[in-house]
Amino acid sequence: MYTEDKMSKGIKNICCIGAGYVGGPTMAVIAKKCPNIIVTVVDINEKKIDDWNNSDLTKLPIFEPGLDLIIKKCRNKNLFFTSDIKESIAKADMVFISVNTPTKTSGVGAGRASDLKWVEESARTVVKFAKGKTIVVEKSTIPVRTAEVIKCILDTSSDKRGEKKEFSILSNPEFLSEGNAIRDLENPDRVLIGGDDEKSIESLFNIYKEWVIPEKILCTNIWSSELSKLAANAFLAQKISSINTISGLCEKSGAEINEVAKAIGMDSRIGSQFLNAGPGFGGSCFKKDILNLIYLSDFYKLPEVAEYWEKVLEINHWQQNRIVEKIVSTLFGTLNRKKIAILGFSFKANTNDTRNSPAIKICKDLLGEGANLKIFDPKVDSKQIEKELNSKELDFISDENKGSWEYAESIYDAVQDSLGIVVLTEWEEFKSINWEKVSLLTRDPIWLFDTRNICNINEARTNNILVWNVGL
Ligand code: UDX
Ligand code: UDX
C-alpha cells in the first residue's frame, strides 16, 4: 500500500549525477518511457552539459545508435541537462549516482581497487542539497559494500546538520553495453535492484515496470546486487579470454576459430554470444571490474580466487602481444619507417569510446617498433586518439627509432602507400572495403591483419592482398 511520503508514492522528479556513457542514455530511456517523470541530468563538466543541449544532434557528447531520436523527443520536455546541481538535487525524489569509478593509480590498492572519490563526492553533494526524503541509487559500477560508504556519509552528515533529511540507498547496476545502449535499456535481460527498504525498492520497481515485465526485475539484498554486476562482467570477459586462447590453438593446429566457436556455441549451456575471438576486450568496465574482484578476493584472503581472475587479464594481454608479434614477424622483423594503416580505434563498433581500447596498446607497441601509422576510425576524432597515444611510455625509445602517427579521413586515405593494414574494430563499413581500390593504393607485398575476422578475405586475396586472420 502506498502512503503519502515520497519514498513510496510515484516518483515525480529524478536527478542523475553524471552525464556520461551510462547516465546519459539511461536517463534518456527513463524519460522516454515515463513521460510523467521529470528527469534532470547534472554534471560537473559544464562543456559536457552544453554538448547535451546542442541543437545539432550529431554533436551530442556520446554516440549511441537511436539516442539522438530520444533526445529530440524528450529534451526540454521531461528530460533536462543542466549544471544547476543544487536545484536539481533539491527537487529530486530519487538521485542516481552515475559518476566514473576508475582504478586507483596511487596509494593503497593502486592498480586494482576502484577510486571512489567521485562517488563519495556525489554522496556529500546529495547530503548538502537534498530536501526531505530522498532515495539514492548507485548506478556506477562499484566495489562490493560501497553502499555502506554512501550510507555512512548520508547518515552522519545529515545528523550533524540537524536538518530533517532522510535517505534510503539502492543498488541498481547498469548492464547496458555500449553501441547497443538504447536496445539494452529498452529490452533488458533483467533489471537488478538491491536494497533493504521495501518502499524504496517498490518506487524504483514501479519506474522500470513501465516497460519491463515484472518477472525480469530482480530484487536482492544490496551486497548481492553489487557483486552480481562485478561477477557478470567478469564472466563475460572470461568467455572472451577463453575463446582467445582457443584462437591461438587454432592457428597452430589447423582448426578454424569460426567453426570451433559455432560448434561450441550451439551448446545452449555455453551459448553463442561472446565467442568472437579478437584483439582482446577493452572498454571501461571489464578490466576495472576484474581488478576489483581480485582486490576483493585478496582482501578476504582468497588468493586462489584472485589468481583465477588474474589469468583472464593475463590472457587478454597475451592476445594483444601476440598480434603485435605476428605483425612484426610477418613484415620481415622490422617496422621501422613502414607505413601501416590502422582501421578502427574505438574499443568496439558503434561507439566513440576509446577507454582501454585494444587499439591503444597495439598502436603504442607498433609505434615502439618504429612504424608510421595512419589511423582511421568512423567515430573517434584525432584529438581523442592524440589523448590516448600521447604517452610517456615511448620516451625510452630514441627519436630515430620511434614511429609516428597521423589521422586519416577515410579508409582509403589510411591505406595509401601502406605495407600493412590492421583492422582493430569491427565497424560495419570495414566489411565492405573495396579491396581492388585498396590494392591500387598500397605497396607490394601488402598484408591485411584482420583481428576481428570481419573482412571479405576472398576478395582481398583475389586482389593480391596477403591475409592473416586471428584464429585461422
Ligand atoms: C560508467 C560506470 O558507471 C562507472 O562506474 C565506470 O567506472 C565507468 O563506466 P560512465 O558513464 O561510462 O561510467 O563514465 P563517464 O562517461 O566518464 O561519465 C561520468 C560522468 O560523471 C562524467 O561526465 C563526469 O564529469 C561526471 N562526474 C564525475 C560528475 O558529474 N561529478 C563528479 O563528482 C564526478
Ligand atoms: C560491458 C558489458 O557487456 C555490459 O553488460 C556492462 O554493463 C558494461 O561492460 P561494454 O564494455 O560496453 O559492456 O561492451 P561489450 O559488448 O561487453 O564488449 C566489451 C569488449 O569485449 C569489447 O572490446 C569487445 O570488442 C570485446 N568482445 C566482445 C570480444 O572481443 N568478443 C566478443 O565476442 C564480445
Query: Per residue in 79-97, pLDDT tens?
Result: 999 999 999 999 999 999 9
Q: What pLDDT score was predicted for residue 160?
A: 66
Q: How far is CA 15 from CA 22, 54, 94, 187, 462, in A?
A: 14, 20, 6, 23, 57
- Residues 371 and 335 sit within 8 Å (Cβ to Cβ): yes
Closest listed residue to residue 96, CA positions, set 201, 218, 14, 32: 14
Residue 466 clears pLDDT 60, i.e. is over it = yes
Question: 250-266, pLDDT tens digit by residue?
Answer: 999 999 999 999 999 99
- Residues 430 and 343 sit within 8 Å (Cβ to Cβ): yes
Architecture of the domain defined by 13-220 = 3-Layer(aba) Sandwich (3.40)
End-to-end CA distance of the chain: 61
User: Taking the domain 314-469, which CATH number applies?
Assistant: 3.40.50.720
Residue with CA nearest ligand 1 atom 28: 99
Question: 425-451, pLDDT tens digit by residue?
Answer: 999 999 999 999 999 999 999 999 999
Q: What pLDDT score was predicted for residue 42?
A: 98
Question: 310-364, pLDDT tens digit by residue?
Answer: 999 999 999 999 999 999 999 999 999 999 999 999 999 999 999 999 999 999 9
350, exposed or middle or buried, with CB in 10 Å at 0-12, 13-18, 19+? buried
* CA 418/CA 439 separation, integer angstroms: 10
| Residues in contact with 258: Cβ distance below 8 Å, sequence separation at least 6, in sequence order | 453, 471, 472
Q: At 158, is the pLDDT very low, low, confident or very high (cuts 50, 70, 90)?
A: low
> In the predicted model, what is the mean pLDDT of residues 242-254?
97
HSE (side-chain half, CA atoms, 13 Å) at 347: 18
Q: At 115, is the pLDDT very low, low, confident or very high (cuts 50, 70, 90)?
A: confident
CA dihedral 280, 358, 66, 97 (to 10 degrees): 90
CA of 378 to the centre of ligand 2 (A): 19
Q: What pLDDT score was predicted for residue 5?
A: 44
- Residues 468 and 247 sit within 8 Å (Cβ to Cβ): no
CATH 3.40.50.720 domain range(s) in the chain: 13-220, 314-469
Mean of pLDDT over the chain: 94
Closest listed residue to residue 96, CA positions, set 162, 32, 11, 8: 11
Q: At 104, is the pLDDT very low, low, confident or very high (cuts 50, 70, 90)?
A: confident
Q: What phi-psi label fits residue 67: left (phi over 0), alpha (psi between -120 and 50 degrees) or beta?
A: alpha
285 annotated active-site:
yes
**For a pLDDT cut of 90, what percent of the chain falls above it?**
86
Residue with CA nearest ligand 2 atom 28: 274
* CA 135/CA 151 separation, integer angstroms: 11
Task: Out of 44, 48, 100, 289, give the residue to mutate to test ligand 1, the one with the largest number of ligand atoms within 8 Å of its CB.
Answer: 100
Which ligand is closest in space to the CA of residue 15?
1
Q: Which letter, b or e, does each residue of 367-384 get, where b requires 16 or more Cβ atoms within 10 Å of its Cβ?
A: bbbbbbbbbbbbbbeeeb
**Other CB atoms within 10 Å distance of the CB of residue 216:** 14
Closest listed residue to residue 214, CA positions, set 201, 197, 225, 226: 201
Residue 146 clears pLDDT 60, i.e. is over it = yes
H and E: helices and strands count for the chain: 17, 14
CA of 403 to the centre of ligand 2 (A): 30
Question: 27-49, pLDDT tens digit by residue?
Answer: 999 999 999 999 999 999 999 99
Cβ of 246 below 6 Å from ligand 2: no
CA of 350 to the centre of ligand 2 (A): 12
Residue 416 clears pLDDT 70, i.e. is over it = yes
What residues line ligand 1, using a CB cutoff of 6 Å? Answer: 17-23, 43-45, 48, 98-102, 118, 121-122, 140-141, 284-285, 288
DSSP for 261-292, please give it.
Answer: HHHHHTSTTT-STT----S---SSSHHHHHHH
* CA 324/CA 347 separation, integer angstroms: 17
CA of 112 to the centre of ligand 1 (A): 18
Q: What pLDDT score was predicted for residue 159?
A: 63
User: Which range (52-61, 92-101, 138-147, 288-297) has the least confidence?
Assistant: 138-147
Residue with CA nearest ligand 2 atom 17: 177
- Residues 114 and 292 sit within 8 Å (Cβ to Cβ): yes
Q: What pLDDT score was predicted for residue 7?
A: 42
CA 353 to ligand 2: nearest atom: 12
Cell 582501454 locates to: 356
Q: What pLDDT score was predicted for residue 286?
A: 96
Its pTM stands at 0.93
DSSP H helices, 117-254, are: 117-129, 146-161, 181-186, 198-209, 222-253
> In the predicted model, what is the mean pLDDT of residues 133-147?
87
User: Which range (31-35, 63-67, 105-109, 372-376) has the least confidence?
Assistant: 105-109
Cell 598502436 locates to: 363
